Structure 1
Amino acid sequence: MVRKRNTGTEAKIKVAFTQLLKEKGFDAMTVSDIARIAGINRGTFYMHYMDKFDLRQQLLDNALFDLRRILTDSEASGAAAVPQPGTAARQHPSVLDVISPQSTLAALRYIRNDAAFFDAVTRSGHDMTMYEETKKILRRLLEEKAEAMHIRPALGAIPHEYGTEVVVSSVTSIIWLWVRRGFTESPEEITKYIEINKRMTPLSLLR
């Protein structure tokens, strides 16, 4: 997937789409609505997108492209140190180390910096596409890096297919709950929760 160049006009269209998604919902909005709020004519809109469905897909694709790029960069630039749970350093590589806390933090900052869009998508009822695609990104990344590290994505006695699902589902669910709650916590706090979650069983987290 090649990320679409974000021009000034496309940025205005995205802002208009985000506003209408929150105010009217996707089904009720029209291209005329989008063009009016963006301050452009319909012809200009159609120079960039085929219709509102194409617009939505491209916006989702762009966000997912960026998230994959950020999560793939294990040395996420500009990521500050993340508070680590008090666990002893492991002697051998683990599947839990495949997605670094620095990359997680960078991805969370990216989401918060575009909070209006992610909030609108989440509240519109169309967020499951992004949720499932984010899981796919994490699963693919986990499997690729685990293979490069010569480890199997398993959790104890759980087969690797199930171990992978546990990891990617829990991380994605924490992120999406954070979005639904209105970004109440900081990206640093959520990163810390994800790191703790990686190393504890679900029941132990409820104590």
Structure 2
Amino acid sequence: MQKRQTETKGYIKTALIILLKEKRFEDISISDITRRAGINRGTFYLHYKDKYDMMGQFKEEMLADLYTILNKGNIETDINTILINTFSYVKDNFEYIEAISTISFINFSKTIKNFVLDFLLEFPKAKTTVANHYGVPYEYAIQVYLASIESLISYWVATGGKESPAEMADIISKVLKIDESISQNSKE
């Protein structure tokens, strides 16, 4: 039974990706999704209340996968590997992530910022490090920090994700001087 549910959700997700290349999410109907997925409407409604519930569940599943990646590494010593694994996940699911990045309901920009903030708060001295990095109060520094990362990731997705996960991890690290911040945290 679980395998069938997973397959059905996969068909729905694939149908959504294809449909998002043809029209805006707001213009996609449940009938469009079910027809493209090769399932009936009743099957769709066994899993989701509506298309917004579907997107909410897809988003939560994606974030759960990303949080699992964060929890697998040692944040203090293995940040580069965590970044590479995170970008590898995005690359492995690129067609889907690229498609959902265009949906206003998902608010891709805010989703990235919230995820990065959660990641950052795993560091014991994050607030001090971010504020010191920019030399302004934390409330302002964190906005610059989050906006920088979000812009880099959004640009990467919008331009087809040409750089490898390792290249993106390197870009993020250099722009935000993550290595310096970590070594500073370790010394304190």
Q: What TM-score comes out, normalization by structure 2 length?
A: 0.81
Aligned to 1:79: none
Tell me the amino acid that sits aligned with residue 23 of structure 1: E
Aligned to 1:38: 37
Residue 158 of structure 2: aligned partner: 180
Instruction: Name the CA distance, whole Å, in 2 between partners of 1:74 and 1:135.
Output: 20
Return the letter of the residue paired with 1:120. A
1:106 to 82, 85, 108: 85
Q: After TM superposition, what 4+ stretches of structure 1 lie above 6 angstroms from structure 2? A: none
Q: Tell me the distance in 1 between the aligned counterparts of 2:106 and 2:144.
A: 18
Which aligned pairs between 1:18-97 and structure 2 lie closer than 5 A? 18-75=17-74
- What residue ranges of structure 2 are gaps of 5+ in the alignment? 179-188
Residues 144-176 of structure 1: per-residue CA shift (max 9 Å, x gap): 4235x8955322522222222222221221111
SS, match of residue 141 in structure 1: helix
**C-alpha contact 2:128 2:138 (8 A) present in aligned 1:** no
Question: Could you tell me which residue of structure 2 aligns to residue 85 of structure 1?
Answer: none
Once residues 150 and 162 of structure 1 are traced to their aligned partners in structure 2, the CA distance between those partners, rounded to angstroms, is 11
- Code of the aligned partner of 2:173: E
**Alignment correspondent of 1:17:** 16
Corresponding residue for residue 167 of structure 2: 189
Q: Matched residues in 1 for 2:127 and 2:99: separation?
A: 40
* Structure 1 residues 144 and 190: CA distance shift in structure 2, 3 A: closer
In structure 2, the CA distance between the partners of 1:27 and 1:99, relative to structure 1 (3 Å rule), is farther
Deviations 1:90-119 (A, max 9, x none): xxxxxxx68811111111111111111111
Contact 1:98 1:145 in 2 (8 A): no
1:142/1:190 Cα in 2 relative to 1: closer, same or farther (>3 Å)? same
SS of the equivalent of 2:135 reads coil
Report the 3-state secondary structure (helix = DSSP H, G, I; strand = E; otherwise coil) of the residue aligned with 2:130.
Answer: coil
Name the Cα RMSD after superposition.
2.7
Whether 1:138 and 2:137 are equivalent positions in the alignment is no
Instruction: Report the CA distance between 1:185 and its aligned residue.
Output: 1.3
1:138-177 to structure 2, matched below 5 A, reads 138-147=116-125, 152-154=129-131, 155=133, 157-177=135-155
CA distance in 1, matches of 2:116, 2:8: 32
Letter in 1 for 2:45: Y
- Which of the pair is proportionally richer in helix? 2
Q: Do the aligned residues in 2 keep the contact of 1:167 with 1:198 (CA within 8 Å)?
A: yes
Please, what TM-score do these two structures have when normalized by structure 1?
0.74
Verify the 8 A CA contact 1:64 1:130 in the aligned structure 2: no
